Every structure is written in C-alpha cells, then in structure tokens.
Amino acid sequence: MNPRYPSIELLAERARQRMPGFAHDYLSGGCMAEVNLHKNTSDIRAVELRPSYLRDYHGASLKTSIFGREYAMPFGIAPVGLQSLMWPKSCEILARTARTHNIPFVLSTVTTASIEAVAKITDGEFWFQLYHPADDSLRDKLLRRAADAGCQTLVLLADTPTFGYRPKEIRNGLSVPPKMTLRNIFQMCTRPAWSFSQLFAGIPQFATLKPYIPAGLSMKHLGLFMNKTFDGRLTESRIRAIRDQWKGNLVIKGIVNPEDAELAISTGVDGLIVSNHGGRQLDQGQSTVRATAELAGKFKGRVKILMDGGIRSGSDIAVALASGAEFVFLGRAPMYGVCAMGARGGDQVVEILQKQLQQVMEQLGCETVEQLPRHLA
C-alpha cells in the first residue's frame, strides 16, 4: 500500500487534481442539490458500534460466502458507467483488481469494456448489470453473451426509470467522447496526464453495445439512440421473463421499498442490492443504510440483502454489515483509486479497505463478518 494515500479521501483529492472537471463532476456528483448523495455517507457515520473487550478472541476473518462462492472480503466493485471517460482503461484495471483480490466485479451495460474482454480478465468470474433494453431481442442477445462468457450472477437495474436531473452534467454537456466545448478543452489542457493517457488508449466507446450501435452516428444521434434503446423501467413481467431464461443467480439492484422487495422475491430472485444509484436519481430518497436496516429486518433469510451507496471506508463497511447487509459494493471509491494512481489504484483501494475493516473488527472483538450485527450499539 502506498503510504502517500492511506485513505479514500486522500485518493479522491488526488483524483480531483488529475481529472478534467467534467470527468470529476460525473464521478463525484449527484442529482439536484446532492442531498441524497451526502446523506448516504452521513447516515452510515451516524451509526455507532459497540466493542467487546474482555471475552476470548481468536482473530478476525474477512472471508464471506455469497451465492455459494467464497470471497476474500465482504465487499466488491460496483458497476459504473462511462468508466474510461474518467480514466482510460479503468474498467479493465478494476476487473483485474477484483480477480487478484478474489472479490466480485460487476460490469455495467453502459461502461467502456465489453462482456468478453472482462470475462477474459476475470476468467469468467464477474457479475453483469443489465440496463433493460426496450427491445426484448437485444435483451436476449446480451443475456446470451453474458452466459456464454461464464457470468454466474446477473444484476437487473431497477432505480433508473428515468434519467436523473444532474446539473453538473448538464452544464458540462457530458457525452462519450466528451464534447469539445471551450470549457472542456481548457479542462483537458490543464490535466496532461489524463489527456495523454486518453490519447494512447483511444476514444472511449460503449464496448458491450458497439455491435448494436449504427456506425457513423453523431454525438447528438448517439444520445438519441441510447435514450430510445434503454427505456429503463423494470417491471414484474420483465423480471419474470428474465428469471425464466437466466439459469444463474439473479439480483435486483436499486430496491429500497418493502413493497418492491416483496414483489421481487415473489418472482424468484436470489438477492436484492439496496441502492439509490449513488444519490444520482432521487434527491429526497432514503439513505441506503436506513433502507438496508429496514429491508434486512423484514426479508433477511428469504433473500440475500446486499448494499451499495455511501461507503468510503472500512468502518463504513462494518456499519453496513452490522445494519443487516450481507455483502456491500463500492463504485466511487475504486474509481478514485484508479484516477489517482492509474493501474495501481484499484489495489490501493482494496488494501485500504481490507486493513481498515480488519482493524475495526479486531477493535470490536468480532471474529467473522456475520457477527457484526451483534456489535450494533
């Protein structure tokens, strides 16, 4: 671990110094006034844990099993769209990080590495998050490709029925590749490491979707194509149709409502990721840790309860697990690592989180992650 950046906060600051403003805004920003973005973390940090100092203690193990697969740690790398816009080859870097450290990597439909490329890096040990297409035939093609690549866990995205209103992205004219406004050109010129890395890596593309995107589209028409292709809303009938054909684990991401959770369970899903899309969709929504505590109390044991959103440290992971999550995912933190340190950044983030979580568990006198709820104050 590089001692210059021993926390996610320091990596985030270094990333900000190396990225053009439009790319950093996309990574770090939320919707509207960013209330929910900040509440995700502040609500986690309002939770207290209680240590046990005097009983016999035999050390802490971070090993965790989910869906019959044992991982080295109880956290994984969440799906993030447009990753190479933020740092070139960041998707591939993080897939390699996950494989090296034996944690799950979730590939987004709308990121910049293909299903097949990530399958090769991870030896098929990856999860795939599906943005549901408007066209069922495209859905079926993507599912077949994921299955053929060895993917065992499919994640269906529920929390983007419409695009979030994100003022920073509107101001920046966000697109892939970025629009060549004077503002964006100036930002790129002031971040030479990012610019030269992009030059050598090539223009980022929606790699998984490339076979289905008509050639020669302008950026305006590419945006219209994407809006038409992915209508976003996940329904009971759509979940059931996918459940009928997907033979692996099926997880719904973006559940915060007990009514939605009950409906999802009735369709035969294996897990729920409690998430609000990183505070990028509904600014007045509930924080993920509060929703996790509620849903775990009602549904844990019937379905796996996982959590995503607001986690920036090993202490945050401990709180999420103590609050009822059985596994957690982080999106921004691994990206901050790569944007700060390049190819070594993913390893840096995992090592930080591992050391922090290990220290918290040892301080609590907690031997396994399954015991963390006992330490909720």
Catalytically annotated residues: 277
At 76 the three-state DSSP class reads strand
Task: Report the alpha-carbon distance of residue 54 to residue 276 in Å, rounded.
Answer: 39
152: left (phi over 0), alpha (psi -120 to 50) or beta: alpha
Query: What is the rounded CA–CA span in Å between residue 346 and residue 358?
Result: 18
Which residue is listed with tokens 């691994």? 334
Start-end of H helices in the chain: 8-18, 21-28, 35-45, 83-86, 90-101, 115-122, 136-148, 167-172, 182-189, 192-201, 219-229, 236-245, 258-266, 288-299, 314-322, 332-341, 345-364
Strands 249-253 and 153-157, sheet pairing: parallel
**Strand duo 249-253 + 75-77: pairing:** unpaired
- 8 Å CB contact between 4 and 13: no
Residue carrying structure tokens 């999860």 = 127
**Distance separating alpha carbons of residues 292 and 49, to the nearest angstrom:** 16
The amino acid at 142: L
| Of 181, 219, 191, 167, the residue nearest 21 (C-alpha) | 191
